[in-house]
Amino acid sequence: MQTQSDSAEAQVPLGVFVRLFTAVMLPIFLAAIDQTLLATATPAIARELGDLRDSAWIAVGYLLASTIMAPLYGRLGDRYGRRDALLAALALFALGSLACCAAGGMWWLIAARVLQGLGGGGLMVMSQALIGEIVPPRQRPRFQAWFGMVFVLASVAGPVLGGLVVSRWSWRWLFVANLPLAVLAAWRVRSLPRGDAAPAVAHGHDALGVLLFALTAGLSLLWLTLAGQRFAWASPTSLAMVAAACVLGAALLRRERALQHPFLPLELLRMRPIAWCGASVVLFAAALFALVFFLPVYLQLGRHGSAAHAGLLLLPLTIGLVLGSNVTGRLVARSGRPDRPPRYGLSVAAAALLALGVLPASGALVAALGLLAGLGFGTVMPTSQLLMQTVAGRNRLGAAAATVSLARSTGASLGTAVFGALVFGLVSSADLQAALHGGDATAVGRVTHAFHLAFAAAAALTLVAAWASTRVPRVDL
């Protein structure tokens, strides 16, 4: 897969790497941490603003907006320049954070999170594309390992920081902190060169495709979270939502196949390595983000832990993700084979999740299984970026980065919605309220059992992701 021109490129100087790292580190950090920042804060927010059942949309709204915007940012970045697209994403992200600070109700906060996600969807995509634009392919494994560490550290540091802040101050400070960080990130990004645009590769914005995708994904996730709780699965409302989602999805696929430059990166998804890698990333993200978002809720409702304690129990998962990402980057740099590590890592993570679902929980067990799951999950993100960028080629770096982000965000949205629907569908509102406010042991036991079943389901999902990763053909950097 490596071209002669790629192999002939000189090593990136240390000064150039430091300049790039300091410019895109903060956008990557902000994009990742705001996907999980409110995990430990969710019970506190539910007590202040409304029903715990609606709280899953605090995460789903952000993730869904990010999912919708990721391919669009990839196209815009390829056409107008990746640096300027990243600056626009930072501006939207800061505006959404400001709206979250002022939220007066649960659905106000959810709407503000959607606005924040419209910017957040471009932070990771454009940061990864800038890395691919500046760093030659053979050098990217080591660089991607560092950036992967920032991503995974932020993803799981979010609940830890959220728990500490909520235990001492208000959850609103979690959004206040984003504002100076976004300004600092914009200042550093402006120091990068504009880069070359490629209008011949990515012209056309496919606004109708964006709208159809948003409606299809939003309606599908809304149905998953509301069916069985707000209305019966076989009710007219439920059947109407399913029918509408199917019609919109069919219209989306028909339109995207007819366009030369569609909103969805279909030209990349037709490539077998990217298609199977994307499938494994969707399933991996579904399991990981369901674990990150709901494990702190489980520890607070089922184990009577504080927000700070629940956040700290996720530190082993953070350490495992960082170690797994770093070791994977080094192994791939030596072997030049990004297709191998996820096969083994995801199998290990599936075993850890299954044990979490069937064994009696204790602080030490949660920590040990979190470390094991993190080591396994850490093999995925560095390798998926490398594999897709290598297969896609230099002229489609933005589309490749958007494909990874689309797969990850889709999986995260789906996993969070399905996990929440499963847990909240297995217990009554009375049991949830009793557990939320420290109620009787019987109600807490029912809530705990629901979480255990959901963790076992996440283990099965991770095992399917491991199988999908074995279908990726050999790719050499």
By CB atoms closer than 10 A (0-12, 13-18, 19+), residue 148 is buried
Find the mean pLDDT for residues 228-240: 80
For residue 155, is it within any domain?
yes
Highest mean pLDDT among 20-29, 133-142, 177-186, 257-266: 177-186
Name 231's bridge partners: 227
Residue 347 inside a domain? The answer is: yes
> Does 164 reside within a domain?
yes
pLDDT at 6: 43
The mean pLDDT of 168-197, rounded to a whole number, is 81
pLDDT tens digits, residue range 10-41? 565 666 667 777 777 788 788 777 766 777 77
pLDDT value at residue 475: 66
Residue type, 101: C
Give me the residue label for tokens 């050098």: 139
Please state the rounded mean pLDDT for residues 355-365.
79
Q: How many CB atoms lie within 10 A of CB 239?
A: 14
Confidence of residue 4 (pLDDT cuts 50, 70, 90): very low
Pairwise CA distance, residues 7 & 3, whole Å = 6
Q: Is residue 299 part of a domain?
A: yes
pLDDT score of 139: 61
pLDDT above 70 (res 205): no
Q: Is residue 216 part of a domain?
A: no
Residue 148 lies in a domain: yes
Answer whether residue 138 shows pLDDT above 80.
no
Q: Does residue 349 or residue 133 have the better pLDDT?
A: 349
pLDDT tens digits, 448-466: 788 888 888 889 889 998 8
For the chain, give the mean pLDDT: 77
Per-residue pLDDT reduced to its tens digit, 53-87: 667 778 778 877 877 777 677 777 777 777 788 88
Are 229 and 425 spatial neighbours (Cβ–Cβ below 8 Å)? yes
Identify which of 281, 217, 203, 276 has the alpha carbon closest to the alpha carbon of residue 245.
217
Structural domains counted in the chain:
1
CA angle, corner 335, sides to 333 and 341, nearest 5?
90
pLDDT band at 8 (very low <50, low <70, confident <90, very high): very low
Q: Residue 329's closest CA among 460, 139, 193?
A: 139
**Domain residues for 105?**
4-206+259-470
What was the pLDDT predicted at 439?
A: 63
The string of pLDDT tens digits covering residues 342-356 is: 888 899 899 998 988
Residue 378 clears pLDDT 80, i.e. is over it? yes
CATH code at 428?
1.20.1250.20
pLDDT band at residue 5 using 50, 70 and 90 as cut-offs: very low
Task: Quote the percentage of the chain above a pLDDT of 90.
Answer: 2
Mean pLDDT of 103-124: 85
* The pLDDT of residue 247: 92
Task: Output the pLDDT for position 200.
Answer: 46
**Dihedral over alpha carbons 171, 381, 404, 370 (to 10 degrees):** -40
**pLDDT digits over 265-301, tens only?**
777 777 778 888 888 888 988 888 888 778 887 877 7
Checking if the pLDDT of 202 tops 50, the result is no
In a domain, 373, yes or no: yes
Residue 191 domain-assigned (yes or no): yes
